[in-house]
Amino acid sequence: MTDRPQTQDAANSMWGGRFAAGPDAIMEAINASIGFDRRLYAQDIRGSRAHAAMLAAQGIISDSDAKAIGEGLLTVLSEIEAGDFPFRTALEDIHMNVEARLKEIIGEPAGRLHTGRSRNDQVATDFRLWVRDQCDAAIEGLQALIRAALSQAEAGADWVMPGFTHLQTAQPVTWGHHMMAYVEMFGRDLSRFRDARARMNESPLGAAALAGTGYPIDRFATAKALDFDRPMANSLDAVSDRDFALEFLSAASICAVHLSRLAEELVIWSSAQFRFVSMSDKWSTGSSIMPQKRNPDAAELIRAKIGRILGATVALFTVMKGLPLAYSKDMQEDKEQVFDAADSLMLALAAMAGMLSDLTANREKMEAAASAGFSTATDLADWLVREAGLPFRDAHHVTGTLVALAEGRGVDLPDLTLAEMQSVHAAITEDVFGVLGVHNSVASRQSYGGTAPDQVRAQINRWKEKLA
């Protein structure tokens, strides 16, 4: 995709008289992008129709030519959507394929479409429109995923489960609280895609090759027609900028990390050793030789998607890092990675939303696990500080001694007798047992954002209002 003339027959690869012969097969293969940039067809045709209408409004081409161009482009669009369009590698890219077919349909007026623009600003516009559409799709997918997580959180706002650090039992939390942690993560992803979309919503169209054009075009009109907020203010920047794609990939990479973390937890939780959740048959597969197996393949594949998405991000940063202004052919390599990353992200978002919607949490298993592993040790230490007046470091030491005592007996803290506890510290009273139950523990975490069920429900309601 370059700014060279586009006036000769397809047999000469539309390069005109500058070259005595067309490129050989290797050059054609490395130069052509139609194998992947055909995905931009709808954006290309939309941009071209807006450009032609503007040229007519400015008196640069006739109304009749603009009408023929507009109608011809709709014909091309219908051919592509019907699968009847003859894509040709010799024409290199989607722009030249569309323009060549337009000429076959309407004849001479097709040659006036490219007045006042270059393939440089054309591809920048097409690609920006496409990435903007992907931001919209990501936003929609994240909203669906957040709603699925909210449903899980609401159902289990007071279901107790172990909270972990280092994958070791730490303190009791609720299933609702755990689900709401992912709502917050995906909420930040939502805001990143919205921010990226707002920032990219400026039109490169009319920047031409790199310096603008001498034709009296109206860039504000084409920007408005394409639902951009405004035209980009510098023609060099307009054709050379790929920040919008980098921002999309960056947001996609962070979102994929969040998806991968949740997928990892689903893999762990659905194992025979945990059984905190049951995966629907829709999202699981069996083993070819072990009939008892139910494998969380969908979660595992989501977990792997971060590799593709992060790889695409690194690839495009690497392509862009050393490019001088304005356009270089290197930038043709900006699309395949973004296309693949967008496909991977949208699939992962849809699959995770589906899995969460069909997921069954095992309340009894989670509560049993929460009640083991000395998960209320911190509650005991806090009680010693609050009721017995111990400094926290002393309370920490006393609690550690009691944990060691319980561990030696093969029981949990609530199973120790009062006498056993008082043998470690005489200030301990019968009241201590009121804080050692896991339900009492979670109910006491009333600080803003804590795991207490009423705090969880407050956050659920806040997010429902945000989504509404």
Express each pLDDT in 350-390 by its tens digit.
999 999 999 999 999 999 998 876 777 888 888 889 888 88
Phi-psi region of 238 (alpha: psi -120 to 50; beta: other; left: phi over 0): alpha
Q: Please tell me the predicted confidence (pLDDT) of residue 6.
A: 44
Q: What is the DSSP string of 250-314?
A: HHHHHHHHHHHHHHHHHHHHTSTTT--EE--GGG-B--SS-TT--B-HHHHHHHHHHHHHHHHHH
> How far is Cα of residue 116 from the mean position of the Cα atoms in its chain?
36
Of 48, 78, 166, 371, the active-site residue reads 166
Of 62, 78, 271, 287, the active-site residue reads 287
271 Cβ partners below 8 Å, 6+ apart? none
Q: Please tell me the predicted confidence (pLDDT) of residue 169.
A: 80
Listed in sequence order, the DSSP H helices in 91-169 are 94-106, 119-155
Distances (CA, A) of 248 to 116, 147, 313, 426: 29, 23, 9, 61
* C-beta atoms surrounding 293 within 10 Å: 12
Domains, the chain: 25-112 (1.10.275.10), 119-368 (1.20.200.10), 371-467 (1.10.40.30)
Q: Please tell me the predicted confidence (pLDDT) of residue 54.
A: 98
Q: Helix, strand, or coil here: 424?
A: coil
Q: Helix, strand, or coil here: 52?
A: helix
Tokens 């002393």 correspond to what residue?
394
Q: Please tell me the predicted confidence (pLDDT) of residue 11.
A: 43
Nearest CA among 356, 352, 361, 316 for reference residue 337 = 316
How far is it, in rounded angstroms, from Cα 112 to Cα 63?
12
Q: Please tell me the predicted confidence (pLDDT) of residue 20.
A: 52
* One-letter amino acid of 400: G
Q: Which residues of the chain have pLDDT under 70?
A: 1-23, 285-294, 373
Strands 230-231 and 202-203, bridge-based pairing? parallel
**CB burial readout 421-447, b (16+ within 10 A) else e:** beebbeebeeebbebbbbeebbbbbee
Tokens of residue 413, six digits: 């803290």
Q: Please tell me the predicted confidence (pLDDT) of residue 434.
A: 77
465 Cβ partners below 8 Å, 6+ apart? none
**Known catalytic residue at 166:** yes
How far is it, in rounded angstroms, from Cα 217 to Cα 202?
17
pTM above 0.85, yes or no: yes
Element at 245 (helix H, strand E): helix 243-269
* C-beta atoms surrounding 466 within 10 Å: 12
How far is it, in rounded angstroms, from Cα 74 to Cα 295?
47
How far is it, in rounded angstroms, from Cα 437 to Cα 372?
10
Q: Helix, strand, or coil here: 171?
A: strand
Residue 454 near residue 180 (C-beta atoms within 8 A): no
How far is it, in rounded angstroms, from Cα 250 to Cα 341?
10
Cis link prior to 221 (omega < 30° from 0)? Answer: no
Distances (CA, A) of 288 to 291, 294, 439: 7, 11, 42
Nearest CA among 90, 86, 100, 95 for reference residue 23 = 90
How far is it, in rounded angstroms, from Cα 117 to Cα 402?
78
pLDDT tens for 34-83 read: 888 899 999 999 999 999 999 999 999 999 999 999 999 999 999 999 99
Positive or negative: CA dihedral 457, 461, 464, 466: negative
What crossing angle do the helices spanning 175-200 and 119-155 adopt, rounded to 10°? 160
